[in-house]
Amino acid sequence: MEPIIHIVDDDRSFRTALARLVETFGFPASCYESGADFLARLPKSEGGCILLDLRMPGLSGMELQDTVAQAVPLLPIVFLTGQGTIASSVQAIKAGADDFLEKPVSSKVLRDVIERALVQNEKRRNRLSQMQTLQAKVSNLTPRETQVFDLVVRGKRNKQVAFDLNTSERTVKAHRHSIMEKLNATSLAEIVSIAERLGRIEVDTVQNPQPDSSPKANIRPR
Amino acid sequence: MLRDPGEDMPERAGSSACPRAKKNAGLVFPLICAIINLLVICWPAEANPPDGSRRVLVIYQDSSILKSAEEIGIGISRGLEKTTAGRLDLYTEYLDTPRFSRDEDFRNSAEYLGSKYGKLHIDILVPIGPEALRFALNHRDLFAPKAKVVFGDISERTYARLKPPDDFAGAITPYDIERSVDLAIGLQSEATDIIVLSGSAEFDIYWQSSAREALGEKYRNLPVAYVSGLPLAEFVSHASRLNPRSILLILTIFEDSLGQKYRPRDAVLEITRASGAPSYGLLSSYAGAGIVGGHMATYESIGTDVAKLIAKAANGDNREVVHAASGPVVDWRQMQRWAMDRAVLPEETRLLNFKPTLWEDYRWQILTVALLVLTEAMAIIALYMERRSRLSAEVQARSRLLELVHLNQSATAGALSASIAHELNQPLGAIRSNAEAAEAILMGTAPDLNLVQQILADIRDDDERAGEIIMRLRGMLKKRNAIDWQEFDLNEVVSSAINILHAEAENKQVAVRAKQSKIKLPVRADKVHLQQVILNLATNAMDAMAESATVDRKLTFRTTLHGDTKVEMSISDNGQGIPRERLDRIFEAFYTTKPNGTGLGLSIARAIVETYGGKIWADNRDDGGAVFRFVLPLAQAA
């Protein structure tokens, strides 16, 4: 899939020039005059990255960032800033930028940044596809198996699970076996990792331990 | 004709030659007539005079219009006014002897007077002039047989010739040749010689012999030359050849060697007019006829002397023969002609035609006026100095203001620099990207030259854009040493201010709107200054909106006509507004509510607007936020 470089800048001349430069790198470029314009014409392809002017009338780059991240989460956002101040860079990164570029942009830096962003994009896409694979596997579980899965990955023993689900320990064991097979896992650690990657558990959240919880119970249900 | 008839003869016609006589006649003669008429009316001739009053008959040798008669008349009436001789009843007759001098004429006159005055019993008869004295001597029996006689205007020589009886009283008029020459020598201290002119008539010759007796061949070491026996024209040419250091004494010229008769005064006039030397004379009728002067009795003083004698005669004493008072008489105009010094004149000198200088006449007035003028001038100078110092203070204040405005400009430029730099980065970034793209395209195997051309055109446009931004910044920082007065459309300045501000407004997420008047709003001011006012108000408004939600941040510029003679500009925001109690203070210097504010922006805005004859104020808007307005005079109305 060919990545497309999306350029969002209110300055026509600047975005045109940038697009020309980007095209000399061999990437197709697509220009938008504002954040609203970009949101109206969301790209179908998830390959590429966004070069977003930090300061624009209407929705500013910062405000746009959240919306864009939700709409096209795979596309890395590179902010274009006019002032190379530390404050604006920190602000940009905090706001979730993957990178930022200082105007005026040199060809080499632009290329590096774009390539980095595309690598990032690649990674995200890969991760997403992995996730999608895992998700598909998990969704193959029966509802009962899912329940068992959720409890097991939180470190519950078979006996506890059986008690929680009001069933026998033996049944739980059977479910666990079926789950291991369906998820193509060989160990408990593997299943926990899958659950974590799918966001079914949070790691390291500090909460008051429940009175009845075991000392190991720092993994909590969401 | 012993008494110098010539003395008065010229006067008869001379009245036309002598403007002064005419003038005096005009003024004084009617006065005399009035006095006489009054006397005549009060005591009609046929009526017996009241007890104690005396009848006085004055007989003039000349006609009533002659200067001599006129002045003597004045002297008599003035003299009589001063006496306490009881009531005097004054009658006057004129013999006009130059025209009626035959014995027959005299007899007729005497008979006439006899019939006129016979019944009146004239108490005192006053003949004036030698001919009148002769008439009185020979014919008084016919009209005033018992009258006492008081004569006047008789020379020493005439008196000796006519030998009036001892009971005649009278005033003898002295003709003093020596003292006249002495006066001349006094006036001409560097005189070299004396020339004495006289005519060919018997009387003239008689005068010359008198002069020879008095002066001799050498008088006070000055040679004396006697010139006579010439025609008048020769006298004139002789006189004209004289140099100013000579003394020319003119006796009388009744007749010249050709037998031509003259009125002495006329002859004297012709000679003095041409004379190269100052002329002098003995007869007071010459006065004003071009002579410098002489030692002589004036007719008026003769009259006064006669009046005294009349008063005495009225009181019974009747034998006195006195010499009429005489003294130096000098014509001021002639002194000026010969540049003579007034200081050498004897104190008792009678100065004729003296025209005092303005200074002498109006000394106090001149001093007062001069003082007033001086005071006024000093006041004017003081006011002028004050005005100058005020002007220079104004100039100084203005140059301070200009400096302050420039500081303000720099501060604004500093505050906007980040936005301006960002703005500048757009074209610079575009240029760079375009250039690098072009480079890459040209390095490719089949470069798209059309695209490269398009790129180059874009580069040029962006370069222009960058140039404009820099120009704007320079315009904003432009320093003024003096106000650069221009007439321009207020809308232009608003647009240029918005150009400068828009980057900053973007940065602060303020939406800028402008509602400008469609018609031109010409004002006269310095563009840079008005732009600064707008920048100050706008940055102020943007700061006021920092706390507002971004969607509410609206900055609105509005220009409009304000009445017929003013333009109005307003800048409104959606900020906090201004607390009511601060509305009046916000334009004060150093008044600020902002942590980083200097408190100068609004006060400078006010100073600028007031410099151009305008007014600035602030208000709160009904729907929140503040509005700042200023008005300026419309340039066409000014």
**Is the pLDDT assigned to residue B259 strictly greater than 70?**
yes
Q: What are the CA-CA distances from residue B97 to residues B6, B160, B172 (Å)?
A: 11, 21, 20
**Is the pLDDT assigned to residue A113 strictly greater than 70?**
yes
Picking from A77-86, A114-123, B112-121, which range would have the lowest pLDDT averaged per residue?
Answer: A77-86
Confidence of residue B8 (pLDDT cuts 50, 70, 90): very low
For B151, the token pair is 């004569």
**Is the pLDDT assigned to residue B547 strictly greater than 90?**
no
DSSP letters of B593-620?
A: -STT--S-HHHHHHHHHHHTT-EEEEEE
Q: What pLDDT, on a 0 to 100 scale, did the predictor assign at position A216?
A: 46
Confidence of residue B372 (pLDDT cuts 50, 70, 90): very high
**Is the pLDDT assigned to residue B307 strictly greater than 60?**
yes
Count other C-beta atoms under 10 Å from residue B333's C-beta.
Answer: 14
CB contact under 8 A, A14 and B426: yes
Q: What pLDDT, on a 0 to 100 scale, did the predictor assign at position B30?
A: 55
Q: To 10 degrees, what angle do helices B130-143 and B103-117 make?
A: 50
Contacts of A18 in chain B (CB under 8 A): 429-430, 433
Contacts of B455 in chain A (CB under 8 A): 17, 20
Contacts of B421 in chain A (CB under 8 A): 82-83
Q: What pLDDT, on a 0 to 100 scale, did the predictor assign at position A1?
A: 66
**Is the pLDDT assigned to residue B2 strictly greater than 70?**
no
- Better pLDDT: A127 or B264: A127
Residue B238, helix vs strand vs coil = helix
Assign 3-class secondary structure to chain A. Answer: CCCEEEEECCCHHHHHHHHHHHHHCCCCEEEECCHHHHHHCCCCCCCEEEEEECCCCCCCHHHHHHHHHHHCCCCCEEEEECCCCHHHHHHHHHCCCCEEEECCCCHHHHHHHHHHHHHHHHHHHHHHHHHHHHHHHHHCCCHHHHHHHHHHHCCCCHHHHHHHCCCCHHHHHHHHHHHHHHCCCCCHHHHHHHHHHCCCCECCCCCCCCCCCCCCCCCECC
Nearest CA in chain A to B457: A13
Distance from the Cα of B506 to chain A's closest Cα (Å) equals 6
Count other C-beta atoms under 10 Å from residue B408's C-beta.
Answer: 23
- Better pLDDT: A60 or B293: B293
**CA atoms of B68 and B66, how far apart (whole Å):** 5
**CA atoms of B276 and B285, how far apart (whole Å):** 22
CB contact under 8 A, B425 and A56: no
Q: What pLDDT, on a 0 to 100 scale, did the predictor assign at position B12?
A: 38
Is A205 part of the contact surface with chain B (CB cutoff 8 Å)? Answer: no
Picking from A116-125, B384-393, B575-584, which range would have the lowest pLDDT averaged per residue?
Answer: B575-584
Confidence of residue A221 (pLDDT cuts 50, 70, 90): very low
Quick: pLDDT tens for A122-140.
998 898 888 888 888 888 8
Quick: pLDDT tens for B477-500.
877 777 888 889 999 999 988 888
Nearest CA in chain B to A16: B430
Distance from the Cα of A65 to chain B's closest Cα (Å) equals 16
Q: What pLDDT, on a 0 to 100 scale, did the predictor assign at position B374?
A: 93
Q: What pLDDT, on a 0 to 100 scale, did the predictor assign at position B344?
A: 83
- Better pLDDT: A37 or B32: A37
Query: Residue B12 — φ and ψ, nearest 5°?
Result: -55, -50
**What's the average model confidence in pLDDT over A90-97?**
73
The alpha carbon of residue B342 and the mean position of all alpha carbons in its chain are separated, in whole angstroms, by: 28
Mean pLDDT of chain A: 81
User: Complex ipTM, two decimals?
Assistant: 0.72
With beta carbons less than 8 A apart as the criterion, state whether A74 and A42 touch.
no
CB contact under 8 A, B425 and A21: no
**What's the average model confidence in pLDDT over B331-338?**
87
Mean pLDDT of chain B: 83
Q: What pLDDT, on a 0 to 100 scale, did the predictor assign at position A184?
A: 86
Residue entry with tokens 């008959």: B57
Assign 3-class secondary structure to B189-220. Answer: CCCCEEEEECCCCHHHHHHHHHHHHHHCCEEC
Distance from the Cα of A96 to chain B's closest Cα (Å) equals 20
**Is the pLDDT assigned to residue A149 strictly greater than 80?**
yes
Tell me which range, A190-194, B25-29, B286-290, B379-383, is most confidently predicted by mean pLDDT. B379-383
Which of A13, A53, A112 is the best substitution to test chain B (most B C-beta atoms within 10 A)?
Answer: A13
Q: What pLDDT, on a 0 to 100 scale, did the predictor assign at position A206?
A: 41
- Interface residues of B toward A, Cβ cutoff 8 Å, are 418, 421-423, 425-434, 436-437, 440-441, 444, 451, 455, 458, 461-462, 465, 506-507, 509, 511
- Better pLDDT: A217 or A12: A12
Picking from A20-34, B163-177, B354-368, which range would have the lowest pLDDT averaged per residue?
Answer: B354-368
Quick: pLDDT tens for B285-299.
787 788 999 988 888
**What's the average model confidence in pLDDT over B114-133?**
88
The helix (H) or strand (E) run that includes residue B331 is strand B327-331
Rounded to 10 degrees, what is the CA torsion of B444, B449, B452, B456?
Answer: 140
Rounded to 10 degrees, what is the CA torsion of B545, B546, B547, B550?
Answer: 80
Q: What pLDDT, on a 0 to 100 scale, did the predictor assign at position A222?
A: 45
Nearest CA in chain A to B441: A24
Is A107 part of the contact surface with chain B (CB cutoff 8 Å)? Answer: yes
Quick: pLDDT tens for B550-577.
777 888 999 998 888 889 999 998 888 8
Contacts of A104 in chain B (CB under 8 A): 425, 428-429, 431-433
With beta carbons less than 8 A apart as the criterion, state whether B343 and B193 touch.
no
Choose among B577, B566, B482, B464: nearest CA to B529. B482
With beta carbons less than 8 A apart as the criterion, state whether A77 and A8 touch.
no
Distance from the Cα of B428 to chain A's closest Cα (Å) equals 6
Quick: pLDDT tens for B18-70.
444 444 445 555 555 455 554 444 444 444 445 567 889 999 988 777 777 88
Q: What pLDDT, on a 0 to 100 scale, did the predictor assign at position B378?
A: 94
Confidence of residue A112 (pLDDT cuts 50, 70, 90): very high
- Better pLDDT: A83 or B363: B363
Q: What pLDDT, on a 0 to 100 scale, did the predictor assign at position B300?
A: 83
Q: pTM for the full model?
A: 0.48
Residue B78, helix vs strand vs coil = helix
Confidence of residue A185 (pLDDT cuts 50, 70, 90): confident
Tell me which range, B298-307, B366-375, B583-592, is most confidently predicted by mean pLDDT. B366-375
**Is the pLDDT assigned to residue A214 strictly greater than 50?**
no
**CA atoms of B127 and A125, how far apart (whole Å):** 162
